[in-house]
Amino acid sequence: MLRRLPVSCAVMIAAACLALFVVLTLVNWTTPGEARKITLVYVGAENCGPCDRWQRDQATAFRNSAEFQRLAYREVRSPNLFDVLKDNYWPEDLRPYRQAISRNAGIPLWLVIADDELVMQRSGLTQWQESVLPKIRTLTRAVR
């Protein structure tokens, strides 16, 4: 025959279960081994008007953001927009990601890399706010 627990015992058990759930969630959420390595690569040129606008209007604010603190930021810049894909402007470790870029891609261009995998490639000023920044926010939210 089953006996019913007093209400106070049931409340205490429920509270203990809730507390355990919160603790386990926080441990899993903040465990350093669980964090993804996120890298943002900016690709631009010195003679690129849209690149200058992004650097002036968006990049400074982004560098001061919480998201920026949670990722590795790299820049690939050439003096001329027609040379942006040339080897001498790309660090050796970033060249494999360059292979995925279309020769017709515009600049400014952003590559979002998570755990060494290219997860997003977008170009043009509107794509920063519409696609790249939201993706970074989503990825860095999990890094906390």
* CA 124/CA 108 separation, integer angstroms: 5
According to the model, what pLDDT value does residue 143 have? 56
* CA 132/CA 120 separation, integer angstroms: 8
Provide the percentage of residues in the chain whose pLDDT is more than 90. 69
According to the model, what pLDDT value does residue 141 have? 87
Q: Please, what sign has the CA dihedral across residues 49, 50, 51, 55?
A: positive
Domain extent listing, the chain: 34-141
pLDDT band at 22 (very low <50, low <70, confident <90, very high): very low
According to the model, what pLDDT value does residue 104 have? 77
According to the model, what pLDDT value does residue 20 have? 41
pLDDT digits (tens, 9 = 90+) for 118-132: 999 999 999 999 999
User: In 10 A of CB 108, how many CB atoms?
Assistant: 27
Q: For the domain 34-141, what is the CATH superfamily, name and number? A: Glutaredoxin (3.40.30.10)
H runs (alpha helix) in 31-144: 49-54, 60-63, 66-69, 95-98, 125-127, 133-141
CA angle 31, 32, 38 (to 5 degrees): 125
Report the pLDDT averaged over residues 14-21.
Answer: 47
Residue with tokens 């650097």: 55
pTM: 0.74
pLDDT band at 108 (very low <50, low <70, confident <90, very high): very high
Catalogue the long-range contacts made by 97-104 (C-beta closer than 8 Å, 24 or more residues apart): 97/41, 101/43
pLDDT digits (tens, 9 = 90+) for 50-67: 999 999 999 999 999 999
